[in-house]
């Protein structure tokens, strides 16, 4: 590999008691670049191929990676209910334009334990009529949980969609105290 090439290190972690299954984390020298839900073998292979293609990167499994140590530590603390705000360098190279603008606003402007409507978030980035485009931005979020797309809901109180599945969205909102914990 030449010294200019992108190099991605990845690992799969467990979400602990959060009940959302394994997560694939990937990081570049810039920071955390990808979080993927339900990271079983098939999902993992697809995610790694997308990273290779979209970043032109060599991907290497590296569970002991220095790049991944802090994201792994902070996610474990979040799932244990001990961390409310992530403080991680993020690599935004898998998103651009309007989607990046919306995701950055979400990352900084919607704190733990709160929710925002799709239309409200559109208004915050100066596009008040773009609720559907905000939904598309949430669906393209390469950094779920850390960039909390689970906190974006429908204005009528519905959960809205979620790339990780609605059960995962419910579990994350329950972890943050927005929804009651499921009984079973």
**Which sequence positions are flagged as catalytic?**
149
Residue 13 phi/psi, 5° resolution?
A: -120, 160
Three-class secondary structure assignment of 10-67: EEEECCHHHCCCCEEEEECCCCEEEEECCCCHHHHHHHHHHHHHHHCEEEEECCCCHH
The H or E element that residue 8 is part of is strand 6-13
DSSP output for 57-111: EEEEE-TT-HHHHHHHHHHHHHHTT--SS----B--TT--HHHHHHHHHHHHHS-
């Amino acid at each position: 590999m030449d010294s200019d090439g992108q190099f991605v290190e990845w690992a799969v972690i467990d979400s602990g008691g959060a009940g959302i299954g394994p997560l694939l984390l990937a990081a570049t020298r810039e920071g955390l670049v990808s979080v993927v839900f339900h990271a079983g073998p098939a999902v993992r292979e697809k995610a790694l191929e997308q990273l290779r293609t979209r970043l032109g990167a060599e991907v290497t499994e590296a569970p002991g990676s220095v790049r991944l140590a802090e994201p792994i530590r902070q996610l474990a603390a979040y799932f244990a209910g001990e961390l409310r705000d992530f403080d991680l360098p993020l690599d935004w190279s898998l998103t651009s334009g309007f989607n990046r603008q919306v995701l950055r606003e979400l990352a900084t402007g919607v704190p733990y334990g709160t929710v925002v409507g799709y239309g409200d978030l559109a208004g915050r980035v100066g596009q008040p009529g773009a609720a559907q485009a905000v939904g598309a931005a949430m669906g393209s979020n390469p950094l779920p949980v850390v960039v909390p797309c689970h906190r974006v809901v429908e204005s009528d109180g519905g959960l809205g969609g979620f790339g990780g599945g609605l059960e995962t969205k419910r579990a994350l909102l329950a972890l943050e105290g927005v929804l009651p914990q499921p009984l079973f």
